[in-house]
């Protein structure tokens, strides 16, 4: 295979797809990729001779896969741009319906999130570098117990998690900003379906009658089935203080909610508003700190201007490093940036009974969640 064929194979392997499902399974694609990379680097000397080709394949694969990851995950609400090295992406703000107050929350120096008002119809988002490194053991590659795809897969997953982490940090910083209308934020110590319905109505007013709820698995589980009808009354059992003629009320639940909970453990629709489950994971070995806030749901309008802005700058940088003990290390970094366009069209619900630790509850990292600068 030539470099372009191997790159296409690499992209299919990372995405879990096949170029021809009638002839090749996803497992076939991954096995073929392993063999093609092994042919390029059967030993350290062949690796040295072919490493620039390998790096080009990896660079083009990452540049293709990372924007697709964002698009597949939250593309309906994210505007994604790629620019050259040293450039900033310019995004256009759509003025509409007399909404005067708009602000953007973006990453500042040292992780501090700055908020500023927009007096123009465009704004720029800059990027910063994220990266990682993985060891390559050629002895283990020679005996077949390791291959190049494994460390590169881990590096790609690490970059995807970094993108997701920055998305969450920017969203949380935006909700903590005092400029977000009070009507767009609800905080309760239990799930209140009527409060959620009010937030959905606000978002739908800006989304042409459509909105989407994004929440953690824990939050969705707390929502449970929604009582959609009048209670059904029956005859109560007699007791010491309850006569036999007393009635009891049984709420009427949506049968689709009951079916969804039986099949998956979660509902997928709330009173006509689709629910999208955010990825969840633990960030510590004690299972105490969650990747995604368990207590928060975001409600975005559908069909309106895209709230999330993501920029990828330049090409993925790939290089290697040989240690004194002759171990090889492959290093990869990619520049990207995230900003949240905040008007009064999206909402946030917080259920404090679900509050757990997550690493960016305070995106500012300085102890002041409202460290903002207005311009």
Contacts of 115 (CB under 8 A, 6+ apart): 103, 104, 105, 173, 174, 177, 179, 372, 373, 374
**Span 261-286, average pLDDT:** 89
Residue range 41-224+267-354, CATH number: 3.90.1690
- The residue length of the chain stands at 375
Smallest CA-to-CA distance from 174 within 3, 341, 41, 375 is with 341
| pLDDT band per the 50, 70, 90 thresholds, residue 369 | very low
pTM for this prediction: 0.76
Residue 371 predicted with pLDDT over 50:
no
Average pLDDT value for the chain: 81
- Res. 285: pLDDT tops 70: yes
Per-residue model confidence (pLDDT) at position 233: 59
> CA-to-CA distance for 54 and 137, rounded, in angstroms?
16
Between 232 and 189, whose confidence is greater?
A: 189
> Residue 100 pLDDT > 50, yes or no?
no
Average pLDDT for 165-178: 85
Alpha-carbon gap, residue 215 to 292, rounded angstroms = 9
Nearest to 314 by CA among 335, 292, 286, 283: 335
| Structural tokens at position 103 | 């602000």
Please, which pLDDT band fits residue 115 given cuts at 50, 70 and 90?
Answer: low
Can you tell me the mean pLDDT for 285-312? 88
**E runs forming strands in the chain:** 78-83, 89-92, 103-107, 113-117, 122-125, 128-136, 185-188, 211-215, 227-235, 247-253, 269-270, 273-277, 296-301, 308-322, 328-342, 347-351
Other beta carbons within 10 angstroms of residue 138's beta carbon come to 17
Per-residue pLDDT tens for 129-150?
888 888 777 667 666 677 777 8
pLDDT at 218: 94
| Per-residue confidence (pLDDT) for residue 249, from 0 to 100 | 59
Residue 57 has a pLDDT of 92
Rounded Cα–Cα distance for residues 47 and 41 (Å): 4
Query: Where residue 375 falls among pLDDT bands split at 50, 70, 90?
Result: very low
324/328 Cα distance (integer angstroms): 9
Pairing of strands 89-92, 308-322: unpaired
Report residue 116's pLDDT band, with 50, 70 and 90 as the boundaries.
low
CA dihedral 307, 345, 374, 167 (to 10 degrees): -30
38-47, 186-195, 320-329 — which is least confidently predicted? 320-329
Residues 6+ apart with CB under 8 A from 150: none
Contact 337, 311 (CB under 8 A): yes
pLDDT tens digit sequence for 196-223? 999 999 999 988 899 999 999 999 999 9
Q: Taking 50 as the threshold, does the pLDDT of residue 311 lie above it?
A: yes
Q: Delimit the domains of the chain by residue range.
A: 41-224+267-354
**Residue 185, pLDDT above cutoff 90:** yes
pLDDT, greater one: 191 or 115: 191
Kindly report the CA angle at 92 between 90 and 94, in degrees rounded to 5? 165
**Predicted pLDDT of residue 239:** 57
């Amino acid at each position: 295979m030539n470099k372009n064929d191997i790159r296409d194979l690499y992209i299919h392997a990372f995405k879990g797809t096949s170029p021809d499902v009638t002839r090749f399974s996803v497992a076939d694609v991954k096995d073929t990729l392993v063999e093609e990379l092994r042919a390029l680097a059967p030993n350290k000397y062949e690796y040295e001779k072919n490493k620039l080709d390998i790096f080009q394949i990896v660079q083009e694969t990452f540049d293709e896969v990372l924007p697709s990851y964002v698009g597949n995950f939250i593309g309906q609400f994210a505007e994604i741009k790629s620019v050259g090295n040293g450039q900033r992406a310019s995004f256009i703000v759509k003025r509409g319906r007399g909404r005067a107050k708009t602000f953007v929350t973006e990453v500042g120096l040292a992780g501090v999130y700055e908020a500023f008002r927009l007096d123009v119809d465009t704004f720029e988002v800059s990027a910063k570098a994220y990266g990682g490194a993985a060891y390559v053991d050629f002895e283990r590659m020679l005996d077949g117990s390791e291959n190049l795809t494994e460390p590169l897969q881990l590096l790609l997953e690490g970059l995807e998690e970094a993108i997701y982490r920055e998305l969450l940090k920017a969203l949380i910083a935006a909700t903590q900003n005092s400029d977000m209308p009070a009507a767009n934020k609800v905080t309760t110590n239990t799930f209140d379906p009527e409060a959620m319905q009010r937030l959905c109505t606000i978002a739908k007013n800006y989304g042409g009658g459509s909105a989407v709820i994004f929440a953690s698995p824990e939050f969705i589980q707390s929502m449970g089935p929604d009582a959609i009808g009048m209670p059904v009354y029956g005859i109560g059992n007699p007791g010491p203080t309850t006569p036999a003629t007393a009635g009891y009320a049984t709420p009427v639940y949506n049968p689709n909610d009951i079916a969804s909970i039986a099949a998956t453990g979660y509902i997928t629709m709330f009173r006509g508003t689709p629910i999208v489950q955010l990825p969840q994971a633990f960030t510590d070995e004690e299972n105490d700190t969650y990747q995604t806030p368990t207590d928060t749901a975001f409600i975005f309008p559908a069909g309106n201007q895209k709230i999330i802005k993501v920029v990828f700058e330049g090409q993925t940088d790939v290089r290697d490093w040989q240690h004194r003990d002759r171990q090889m290390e492959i290093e990869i970094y990619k520049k990207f940036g995230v900003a949240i366009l905040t008007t009064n069209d999206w909402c946030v619900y917080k259920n404090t009974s679900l509050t757990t630790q997550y690493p960016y509850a305070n995106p500012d990292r300085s102890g002041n969640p409202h460290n903002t600068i207005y311009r």
